[in-house]
Structure 1
Amino acid sequence: MSPASERHAERAAAPAVSAVPGAPRAPRRWRWLAAGALLAAALAGGLAWWRAQRAQPPAPGSRELAGMMLDPQLSEISGLAASRRHPGVLWMHDDGGNPERLFAVAENGDRLATARIEGAIKTDWEDMAAFELDGRHYLLIADTGDNGGLRRSLQLHVIEEPDKIENARLKPAWSIAFRWPDGARDCEAVAVDVARRQVLLISKKRQPPELFSLPLMPAGNALQTATRLGELAGIPEPDAQLRQNNPFRARIQGQVTAADVSPDGRTLAVMTYRYLLLYPRQPQQDWAQAVAGAPRVSELPWLPQAEALGWSADGRFLYATGEFIPAPLYRIAP
């Protein structure tokens, strides 16, 4: 007997059963509709629970692996910024020696698109920032790397975020040429304070690191001079054992490689090769006063040459990754 015939015979032999003696049995169609309604209600409840869990603030200091960077084109990432226009998209750029380009990357580390930047020379791009100004969404690219301490002028390029995530060619909305007030220095960390219309820059190799500022939208095209604001306090010092066993690591672990201002403008996040430092700013403080205070310090999760850091658009997480492939992409709760 076929499976269909067996099911027919079983249905014919089975006695009619109703929930209430004597009550008519509900038609099969209505029973299926009722079961479907129950299933839909259960799924809706589960979705509401998941959304509620996601809405809960993460535990301070918690970290999770969001994805892995496996694409060979992402092998020298030195700048990262979360899109303010496209949810779930991270903008990244690679180091000097590569074409002038930005990568749109998903939170799991997959490359979504590549944008070529026209009208901007790439000497040594080292960091980037995302911000919203007058209803428009922008990315600032810092061409500020100077390992040899030889550059007399440096550039910042501001790119408006494109409407779509697709391969494209983009041009700077404006650029800022500037110099340091007292001689060349290496810089791999830039951040934007939109409320003050201010660009913040942090030196890399000098200890303690120095904080500088530039106007976000200077008048005219004249060469700007960065203003020194102060020094960053609280950079952990290597202990004697590390100095003895690994002098190179001891020398570089406190060097600043990235920075970003939180979307609410209250916290400056600073990355070194080993640490994450968070400098809170009180309403009455400027950034010079904020970085002179004690930061919250935590060790970074393992990263191959940690050089890219950026706040999520909602300020709930910091994204962090490094150079080389494969490289983990982390979400870190502040």
Structure 2
Amino acid sequence: MRRILGYATALPVSVLLLAGAGAGAGVGAGAASASVPGDDGFTIKDPRITESSGLAASRAHPGIYWTHNDGDDGTYLYAVDGRTGETVARITYTGVGKPHDVEAVSVGADGHLYVGATGDNDEDEDHVWIYRLKEPSDLSDRTVAATEYHVAYEDGAHNAESLAVHPGTGRIYVITKDKDGGALYEAPEEPSPDGDNTLGKVADIDLWVTDAAFSPDGTRLAVRGDDGIMYTWKNGKPSHPRSLDVPKQKQGEAITFTTDGRTLLYGSEGRNSGVVARPAKAGAAIVDEADGLSGMRVTGVVIGVAAVVALLFGGGRMVCLRKRSNGRRGSAL
């Protein structure tokens, strides 16, 4: 069980005023910088894309977003222009078996695209699949050879719709989907195309997850379902979960960062599906109610910050009043 902790309720008015000023400055700075194509959202117009399940911002082609249909309609990836919503290329990847249930796409640190055929609704598969293919330098309909990896969870079968490749280390991560919360798993540092690769559990994820994405600098991990969580990413693990402002969508599925890391794009299934943009800013902290120590630590930090700010902004007045009071008592004697 988790709850959202709003820091602002514990802070004095002076801090809120300063925070408001700082936030305004940040917004102004962001508005003044160059925008990234698609960072205000777009509509996927290709009639062949009826169940956009994954979304990934291209690094080789700024403003292009890779997507695919859910399920097993073929080994296809679509390059969609964020300026127009039109498909500019369809890639057919070969050298792999018939995809069982394609759920996610991610861009790796090595200039390759990674596709996760990780869906397993009945949780009865002894392994699932990840495909790796070179991102084309030229955007046109073409065929690209892919490498197929068999992956299996260390603790048995799971259903998963999320695949995220870290932009710095190139490590592949999968998040399982469960109504009671999923878990984050990592693939071997160098997966092998021969035999199974074991996915090792890294951390629990307290969310029904349909997709996930790393920020371009690799310091944040965003996960989404109907709700969302932004994690700080450090030393190969997620921490400090904070809430995300996930838009209401008919069947929300995908998430990706824009290439500048300022915006999160949320995708949905359906024909002419809309990709909705939201600032990539986390909200209130999320605290596990069962973890009393965590709650105490967070509360303690908030109280400590409030005390320091009170001393800084109100200390001078307190000392002044005390001196005046002492002076009045001295004159009465």
Q: CA deviation at 1:84?
A: 0.9
Task: Provide the C-alpha distance between the structure 2 equivalents of 1:56 and 1:166, rounded to a whole number of angstroms.
Answer: 27
| Equivalent residues of 1:109, 1:329 under 8 A apart | no
> For the pair shown, which has the larger CA radius of gyration, 1 or 2?
1
Residue of structure 2 aligned with 1:265, choices 194, 211, 218: 218
Q: Select which of 107, 122, 125 maps to 1:130.
A: 107
| Corresponding residue of 2:227 | 275
Which of 33, 42, 46 is the matching residue for 1:55?
33
- How far apart are residue 223 of structure 1 and its match? 0.9
- The verdict on how the C-alpha distance between 1:169 and 1:208 changes in structure 2, with shifts beyond 3 A counting, is same
Question: Structure 2: 5+ residue runs without aligned partners?
Answer: 1-28, 281-333
Distance in 2 between residues matched to 1:188 and 1:159, nearest whole Å: 19
Worse-matched range after superposition: 190-199 or 149-158: 190-199
- Distance in 2, Cα, partners of 1:75 & 1:112: 17
**Are 2:157 and 1:184 equivalent residues in the alignment?**
yes
Q: CA deviation at 1:191?
A: 0.7
**Cα pair 1:191 1:199 within 8 Å, conserved:** yes
The residue number in structure 2 matching 1:88 is 63
The aligned counterpart of 2:92 is 116
For 1:287-302, what aligned pairs fall within 5 Å after superposition? 287=237, 290-291=238-239, 293=240, 295-302=241-248
Q: Deviation per CA, 1:43-64, whole angstroms, max 9, x where unpaired? A: xxxxxxxx98451799xxxx97
Separation in 2 of the partners of 1:277 and 1:56?
A: 27
Instruction: Report the 3-state secondary structure (helix = DSSP H, G, I; strand = E; otherwise coil) of the residue aligned with 1:281.
Output: strand
| Rounded Cα–Cα distance in structure 2 between residues aligned with 1:158 and 1:217 | 12
- Give the superposition deviation at 1:123: 0.7
Say if 1:99 and 1:210 are closer, same or farther in 2 by CA, change over 3 A. Answer: same
CA distance in 1, matches of 2:255, 2:30: 27
Q: Structure 2 residue aligned with 1:333, among 257, 279, 283?
A: 279
The reply on whether 1:229 has 2:206 as its aligned counterpart is no
Runs of 5+ in structure 1 lacking a partner? Answer: 1-50, 236-253
Across the aligned residues of Structure 1 and Structure 2, the Cα RMSD in angstroms comes to 2.4
Q: Which residue of 1 aligns with 2:236?
A: 286
Shift in alpha-carbon separation, 1:77–1:52, aligned structure 2, 3 A: closer
In the alignment, residue 217 of structure 1 is paired with which amino acid? E
AA partner of residue 185 (structure 1) = H
Structure 1, 212-221 or 153-162: larger mean CA deviation: 212-221
Counterpart residue type for residue 281 of structure 1: W
Counterpart secondary structure, 1:227: strand
Aligned pair 1:212/2:165, yes or no? Answer: no
Q: Given residue 164 of structure 1, which amino acid in structure 2 is its aligned partner?
A: D
Aligned in 2, Cα 1:167/1:256: closer, same or farther, shift over 3 Å?
Answer: same
TM-score (norm 2): 0.69
Are the counterparts in 2 of residues 197 and 217 from structure 1 also a CA contact under 8 Å? no
Q: Distance in 2 between matches of 1:103 and 1:199?
A: 21
Query: Tell me, what secondary structure is at the counterpart of 2:217?
Result: coil
> Deviation string for 1:233-284 (max 9, x for gaps)?
xx4xxxxxxxxxxxxxxxxxx4100001111110001011x112110124xx
Q: Secondary structure at the match of 2:48?
A: helix
On the 8 A contact 2:185/2:200 being kept in 1, the answer is yes
Offset of residue 225 of structure 1: 1.2
SS in 2 for 1:191: strand
- 8 A contact 2:45–2:87 mirrored in 1: no
Q: Taking structure 1 as the reference length, what is the TM-score of the superposition?
A: 0.69
Cα deviation for residue 69 of structure 1 reads 2.1
Query: Secondary structure at 1:318's aligned position in 2?
Result: strand
Shift in alpha-carbon separation, 1:197–1:326, aligned structure 2, 3 A: closer
Which residue of structure 1 aligns with residue 18 of structure 2? none
Which among 66, 75, 78 is matched to residue 41 of structure 2?
Answer: 66
Q: How does 1:132-171 map to 2 (within 5 A)?
A: 132-133=109-110, 137-171=111-145
Q: How many Å separate the matches in 2 of 1:324 and 1:82?
A: 20
